[in-house]
Amino acid sequence: MVQASICTIGDEILIGQIVDTNSSRIASALESIGVRVTRMVSFGDDRDEIIGNLKEELRHNGIVIVTGGLGPTKDDITKSALAELSGSTGYAENKEQLEIIENILHSRGLDVLDINRAQALVPDRCEVIPNRLGTAPVMIFRFGDGECLHTLYSLPGVPFEAEGALPDILKDIKSHYRLTDIYHRSIMTYGIAESALSEMISEWENSLPEDMHLAYLPDPVKGVRLRLSIYGGNRADEEKRIGMEIGRLRRLLGDSIYAEDDTTLQETIGKMLKDSGKTVSVAESCTGGTISHLLTSVPGASEYYLGSVTSYAVSVKENVLGVPSAIIERYGVVSSQCAAEMAEGVRLITGSDFAISTTGVAGPGGGTDDCPVGLVWVGVTSASGTETVRFQFGNDRTRNIERFASSALDVLRKKIESETND
Amino acid sequence: MVQASICTIGDEILIGQIVDTNSSRIASALESIGVRVTRMVSFGDDRDEIIGNLKEELRHNGIVIVTGGLGPTKDDITKSALAELSGSTGYAENKEQLEIIENILHSRGLDVLDINRAQALVPDRCEVIPNRLGTAPVMIFRFGDGECLHTLYSLPGVPFEAEGALPDILKDIKSHYRLTDIYHRSIMTYGIAESALSEMISEWENSLPEDMHLAYLPDPVKGVRLRLSIYGGNRADEEKRIGMEIGRLRRLLGDSIYAEDDTTLQETIGKMLKDSGKTVSVAESCTGGTISHLLTSVPGASEYYLGSVTSYAVSVKENVLGVPSAIIERYGVVSSQCAAEMAEGVRLITGSDFAISTTGVAGPGGGTDDCPVGLVWVGVTSASGTETVRFQFGNDRTRNIERFASSALDVLRKKIESETND
C-alpha cells in the first residue's frame, strides 16, 4: 500500500497559536483513494529543520505532502530548503502564477511589489500547479522513479487554498502510483458508550472475515461511528459482503443506529422532517440554546425548524412557555413534569408538529442531592402525546451541555422515527 | 531552553476523522511557561510505531507529551508500548483511578465491566496523576536524571480530559526543569481585522524595546489577541515596563479592546452584568441559538441571562416576540426595523435590562440583491433606547453564524459598557 506523510511547516503551529486543520482534510482525501497516512509532523520555519524533517519523511514514505511555510514574508526559507533538497540549481519564474498574483493584488487595489513577484519564482527542479486562490503556487518534486518514486507536494498553508489544491494532487497521485482499491461503509450509533458497544458486538466482531477491518470512531456529539473497511478485491463482491455484515450489525444494535455514512443527529433529524413535511420547535433550559444552534447549523433548517425559547429564568418558563407555577412549586424546575410542560408550551406557541425540551443542572454549581450536577430531563411531544426521559452525566459544564443537547436530539430522532414509520 | 515534542496517537487522526486540537492547546500551555515545542507528531495505534516514534522524540527532547491511544477499546497497545519503553516488568492497579472509574460509571447508571477496570492498570514504572474527568489516568515516565532527565507524559485523548490534566503537568515540569522566566500580558480586541490592526499600531510596535515581543493571535470568535512577552530579567521591573506599553496600546485602540488576558466576549459581558446587577435576554433569527449558547457556556450565567427566543419562522417573530406584521410586510424580516422590534419584544416578555437581536442571511441559499448572504442586522435595547447595527460578511454559513453571533455580542458589550460606566 502506498504510504504518505503529511508535514506542516510553521512556528505559529508550534506555539499553539493556530490549530492545524489542513492535515486532517488532506488525510481524509488521501484515505479515500487508498493511500495510507503513516505520520503527520509539524515543525518550525527553520531551513535545517525543514530539510532534515523532509528527508526523513521521504525516506519512509512514497508521498510527502507539505503545507505552510509559503507566504510573502517567509517564502525564502521553505523554497531554499526545497531547492537544496531537490538538487535544483536555480529558480525559474512561473508565468501563469505571476499573472494570478498580479490579478489578485490589482483586484484588491494593491501594487505588485518585488516581494509579491518573488512568489512566482520556484526551484528549477519542480513542476508547478498554479494556485488560483492565492499567491503561492503548488510545487511538485519527484525523486527516483518506477517502484522507487517518491513525490513531495508543497501546498500553501491557507486552509481554503490547500483544500483547493487537493483535487489536482489526488489526480497526480492516481496517475503516478498503483493504488489499492478500498471500500468503506459506516454506521452512526448514539446512546451506547464505546465500551458497552464493543461488548454488545464482540461476537460479531470476532467472526468478521480476516480482510474486513472494524474501526470505532467515537465523537462526543455524533455518538460512535462504526466503520467497516475492505482493501483490494472485487468491488461488486466487496459491496455485497460488507452489506451483509452491516445487516447483521443492524439486527444487533436496532434503533441505536441513526444513519449510515458520516453524518450527525441534526442532519438525520432534518432529513426525516423534510421528508415527512413536519416541523419542530425547542424549549431549552440548561442547554441554553445549544440544541437550536445544532439544528440550525444544517443548511435549509428553516424548512422544518420554527424556533425555540430558552428559559433560564423561572419567570420565562412561566410567562413565555406557560409552565404553571404550581408545577414548579411542587416538582421543581428540574423535573419530568416541568420538562413535559416546557415541550408542550413551546409546541403550542410555535404551532410545530414536534417539540423537545431540556431542564437540568449543567454545573459546575447548582446541584443538590435530588438534582445533582449532570442530571437532565428531556421532554418530547407531538399530537400523539408527551414523554420524558432522564439522563445522568458527569461534572463538566461544557461536556454536560454537549451531552444534554445530543441526548435530547436522540430522543427527538426516535420519536420522529416512530411516528413517521407508522 | 527546555525543548518538548507533542505526540498524538490514533488512527482516527491519520485517516482525517478528527482534527487534533489537543496539540495546539498543549503547545500554548508549554509556551506560556517557557518550554519550546520543536515538533508535533501524529502516528497510528500500532505498538512498534508507538515505541519507535516515542524513542525518537525522547532522544531529541527533554519533554515528550503524548495524548490519545488510551480508551477502553485500545488501551492495551499504548500501555504495553509504554511498559516496554519504560522497562516496566508488570502492571499495577491504581486504586484512586479505579475508584474514579467506578464512580463515573455508577453515576451514569452503568455497570463496571472488566474492560473498564483494566483502565486503572498502569505499567509499574510510571507515576500516576488520577484523571477525575475520565477513566484513563495520566501517566508520567522518567528517564535519566539531572541535566539528562527526559520525561514522557501520557494524557488521555479526550480534549477536555487532556486540558484538565494540563495544570498538573505544568506544575510537574516546573518542579523538574529549570525554565527561563517568561512574562506575558495580553489584550483582547474585537472588530478590527489583523492587517488593519497591524497598520494602526505599527509605529508603536516598531518603538517596542528589543527584549519585548509582540504576537498577533487572531481567533474567528474572540477577535485578535495581542500578546506582549519578555523573557528573563527582573519580574517587578518587567511588569512595570510591560504595563506602560499596554497603556500606550489602550490609548491607540480605545473601545476595540474588551478585556485583558485570554478571555471571551461572553465572559466579559458576564462579568459586567454581574458587577452591575443587570440582566440580558436574546432574540435570535439567523444565529439560531448560537448567541444564547455562547452566553450560557459561561458558568454562573443564570445570574444575569434570563432567556431567549429563536424565531426562525415569521409566525414566531410575530406571535412570540410581537413583531408587528406591518413592519415585516413593509421592511422584510432582514431589516433594521425588524431587528429593533425583536430586541424590544424579547426584553418585554422576559423583563430583562438589556436585550440583543439578530436577523440576517447566513446562507448558503436565501440571499437576494437587497439582502445578500452574509448580511445581518443586530439590534440592542435597554431602558435608554434601541439601536441597530448592520454587518456584511462572506458566503460561508458556518463562519457567518459565528461572526454574526460574535458581532452581536460585541454590540451588546459596548452598549453595557456605555451605560454602566455612566
pLDDT in tens, B297-319: 999 999 999 999 999 999 999 99
Per-residue pLDDT tens digits for A170-189: 999 999 999 887 788 899 99
Mark yes or no for CB contact A24/B20 under 8 Å.
yes
> B16: buried, middle or exposed (CB in 10 Å: 19+, 13-18, 0-12)?
buried
Mark yes or no for CB contact B27/A15 under 8 Å.
yes
Q: Are B98 and B28 in the same domain? A: yes
Distance CA B304, CA B322 (A): 23
Boundary of a domain, candidates B244, B260, B276: B260
Q: Is B319 on the interface with A (CB under 8 A)?
A: yes
Evaluate whether A171 touches A112 at the Cβ level (below 8 Å). no
* CATH number for the domain harbouring residue B240: 3.30.70.2860
Residue with cell 434503533: A255
For residue B307, give the nearest of A295, A311, A396 by CB distance: A311
Cα of B286 to nearest chain A Cα, Å: 8
Helix, strand or coil, per DSSP, at residue B36: strand
Boundary of a domain, candidates B226, B260, B294: B260
Q: Which amino acid is at B65?
A: I
Q: Are B227 and B136 in the same domain? A: no
User: Residue A170 is placed in which grid cell?
Assistant: 489526488
Whole-number Cα distances in Å, A104 to A93, A129, A133, A135: 17, 17, 9, 8
Residues pairing with B36 in the sheet: B3
Whole-number Cα distances in Å, A413 to A271, A280, B52: 11, 11, 45
> B324: buried, middle or exposed (CB in 10 Å: 19+, 13-18, 0-12)?
middle
Q: Is residue B88's pLDDT more than 90?
A: yes
pLDDT, residue A36, reads 92
Taking only residues 125 to 144 of chain B, the set having a beta carbon closer than 8 angstroms to any beta carbon of chain A reads 133
User: Residue A316 is placed in which grid cell?
Assistant: 420565562
- In the DSSP assignment, the letter for residue A90 is S
Taking only residues 384 to 403 of chain A, the set having a beta carbon closer than 8 angstroms to any beta carbon of chain B reads 392-399, 401
Q: Is B357 on the interface with A (CB under 8 A)?
A: no
For residue B290, give the nearest of A23, A219, A293 by CB distance: A293
* Closest-CA residue to A188 (of B17, B134, B116): B17
Q: Is B301 on the interface with A (CB under 8 A)?
A: yes
* CATH number for the domain harbouring residue A54: 3.40.980.10
Q: Which of A39, A42, A284, A373 to substitute to test the interface with B, most B CBs within 10 Å?
A: A42
Q: Which of B24, B166, B267, B399 to substitute to test the interface with A, most A CBs within 10 Å?
A: B24
What is the CB neighbour count within 10 angstroms for residue A253?
A: 18
Closest residue, chain B, to A296 (C-alpha)? B288
Sort out which chain A residues have CB atoms less than 8 A from B8's CB and list them: 40
For residue A296, give the nearest of B26, B289, B364 by CB distance: B289
* Closest-CA residue to A26 (of A235, A176, A177, A173): A173
pLDDT bucket at A403, cuts 50 / 70 / 90: very high
Q: What is the mean pLDDT of chain B?
A: 92
Q: Are B281 and B198 in the same domain? A: no
Cα dihedral value B204, B207, B212, B214, nearest 10: 40
Residues pairing with A223 in the sheet: A219
Work out the average pLDDT over B136-162: 92
Distance CA A135, CA A120 (A): 8
Work out the average pLDDT over B8-21: 88
Helix, strand or coil, per DSSP, at residue B5: strand
Closest residue, chain B, to A300 (C-alpha)? B365
Distance CA B173, CA B397 (A): 42
Q: Are B303 and B222 in the same domain? A: no
pLDDT, residue A394, reads 85
Distance CA A18, CA A11 (A): 10
Per-residue pLDDT tens digits for B390-403: 999 877 888 899 99
Taking only residues 205 to 234 of chain A, the set having a beta carbon closer than 8 angstroms to any beta carbon of chain B reads 215-220, 225
The verdict on whether omega for the bond into residue B137 sits within 30 degrees of 0, i.e. cis, is no
pLDDT, residue B221, reads 83
Helix, strand or coil, per DSSP, at residue B403: helix
pLDDT, residue B75, reads 56
Q: Is residue B290's pLDDT more than 90?
A: yes
Sort out which chain A residues have CB atoms less than 8 A from B284's CB and list them: 289, 292
Per-residue pLDDT tens digits for A76-128: 688 989 999 999 999 999 999 999 999 888 876 778 888 788 889 999 999 99
Q: Which of B105, B108, B292, B349 to substitute to test the interface with A, most A CBs within 10 Å?
A: B292
Distance CA A305, CA A288 (A): 17
For residue A394, give the nearest of B43, B73, B107 by CB distance: B107
Q: Are B319 and B370 in the same domain? A: yes
Distance CA A85, CA A54 (A): 8
| Share above pLDDT 90 across residues of chain A, in percent, rounded to a whole number | 69
Cα of A414 to nearest chain B Cα, Å: 21
pLDDT, residue B422, reads 54
Cα of B398 to nearest chain A Cα, Å: 7
Cα of A384 to nearest chain B Cα, Å: 23
On whether ipTM exceeds 0.85, the answer is no
Q: Are A165 and A288 in the same domain? A: no
Boundary of a domain, candidates A260, A277, A311: A260
CB pairs under 8 A between A and B: 276
Mark yes or no for CB contact B39/A37 under 8 Å.
no
pLDDT, residue A422, reads 54
| β pairing state of A36-43 and A3-9 | parallel
Considering only A381-395, B59-73, B129-143, B275-289, which range has the smallest mean pLDDT?
B59-73
Range of the domain at A313: 265-420
Instruction: Name every residue whose Cβ is closer than 8 Å to that of residue A326 and which is 6 or more positions away in sequence.
Output: none
* CATH number for the domain harbouring residue A276: 3.90.950.20
pLDDT bucket at B264, cuts 50 / 70 / 90: very high
Taking only residues 13 to 32 of chain B, the set having a beta carbon closer than 8 angstroms to any beta carbon of chain A reads 13-21, 23-31
Strands (E), A44-145: 63-68, 91-93, 121-123, 127-129, 138-143
* Closest-CA residue to B43 (of B20, B64, B13): B13
Cα of B253 to nearest chain A Cα, Å: 22
Mark yes or no for CB contact B401/A296 under 8 Å.
yes
Q: Is A103 on the interface with B (CB under 8 A)?
A: no
Decide which of B397 and A270 is more confident.
A270
Cα of A107 to nearest chain B Cα, Å: 17
Q: Are B171 and B198 in the same domain? A: no
Mark yes or no for CB contact A312/B302 under 8 Å.
yes
Closest residue, chain A, to B227 (C-alpha)? A17
What is the CB neighbour count within 10 angstroms for residue A20?
A: 25
Per-residue pLDDT tens digits for A40-74: 999 998 899 999 999 999 999 999 999 988 766 65
Mark yes or no for CB contact B310/A308 under 8 Å.
yes
* Closest-CA residue to B27 (of A28, A43, A146): A43
Q: Are A147 and A216 in the same domain? A: no
Q: Are A167 and A304 in the same domain? A: no
Number of folded domains that form chain B? 3
- In the DSSP assignment, the letter for residue A181 is P
- In the DSSP assignment, the letter for residue A219 is E
Q: Are A20 and A168 in the same domain? A: yes
Work out the average pLDDT over B74-88: 87
For residue B14, give the nearest of A37, A198, A392 by CB distance: A37
Decide which of A238 and A385 is more confident.
A385
| β pairing state of B257-260 and B182-189 | antiparallel
pLDDT, residue A73, reads 62
Q: Is residue B220's pLDDT more than 80?
A: no
Helix (H) / strand (E) containing B397 = helix B397-420
Q: Are B210 and B314 in the same domain? A: no
Provide the whole-model pTM.
0.82
Cα of A193 to nearest chain B Cα, Å: 10
Q: Are A20 and A37 in the same domain? A: yes
